[in-house]
Amino acid sequence: MKIKKWHGILVVFLLSWPAGAEQQKTNTYVGSASCRSCHEKQYESFMNHARKSRSFESVQKMKKGLTDDEIRECYSCHTTAYGKKGGFIDPAQTPELKNAGCEVCHGPGKLHVDTQDSSQIIRNVTIDSCRNCHTEDRVNAFRYKPTIYAGSH
């Protein structure tokens, strides 16, 4: 009986929690184009030089003969935040996240875009974060052993 009552109070409390406060705390992925207006230089350089900015095409090119499951495996590295909350789902639902964008290195950008607060974005990108995708296997199979300033902007 007692527990039920407290439960009721908790529900009322949560329902009356201001929606705005909850939203503010939720960071999520927005896609590289959202960074353009304030970081034109990095954006242009990234779009013109980094192959990440076209990484979805690479998957498209090789998709013949692959099963849907196999194709989805490619997404973990060739898109932005596939499988993570607020990340890439599929090209129809989340077209802005279909390539590996700014946020694969700098983390989810929503809060930073809204506030322009630099403490809300990852500034000190570390080489460890590259290793999520540039695994030893990939490095051996392809060309690039990543160095921190390569492949970005």
Give the CA radius of gyration of the chain.
19
Query: 29 vs 9, 77, 119, CA distance in Å?
Result: 34, 15, 16
- Least distance to ligand HEC, CB of residue 16, Å: 32
Are 116 and 38 contacting, i.e. CB atoms less than 8 angstroms apart? yes
Nearest to 107 by CA among 43, 45, 29: 29
C-alpha span between 135 and 133 (Å, rounded): 5
Both tokens assigned to 153: 């902007």
Computed from CA positions of residues 87, 90, 95, 99, in that sequence, does the dihedral angle turn out positive or negative?
A: positive
Q: Which amino acid is at 134?
A: H
Q: Which is nearer to ligand HEC, 22 or 44 (CB)?
A: 44
- Least distance to ligand HEC, CB of residue 85, Å: 15
Q: Which is nearer to ligand HEC, 8 or 83 (CB)?
A: 83
Q: Which is nearer to ligand HEC, 7 or 84 (CB)?
A: 84
- Least distance to ligand HEC, CB of residue 24, Å: 16
Q: Which is nearer to ligand HEC, 22 or 70 (CB)?
A: 70
- Least distance to ligand HEC, CB of residue 35, Å: 3
Q: Which residues bind ligand HEC (CB under 6 A)?
A: 30, 32, 34-35, 37-39, 42-43, 46, 49-52, 55, 58-59, 61-62, 66, 70, 73-74, 76-78, 100-106, 109, 112-113, 116, 118, 121, 123-125, 129-130, 132-135, 138, 142-144, 146, 148-153
* Residue the block writes with tokens 């690039």: 144
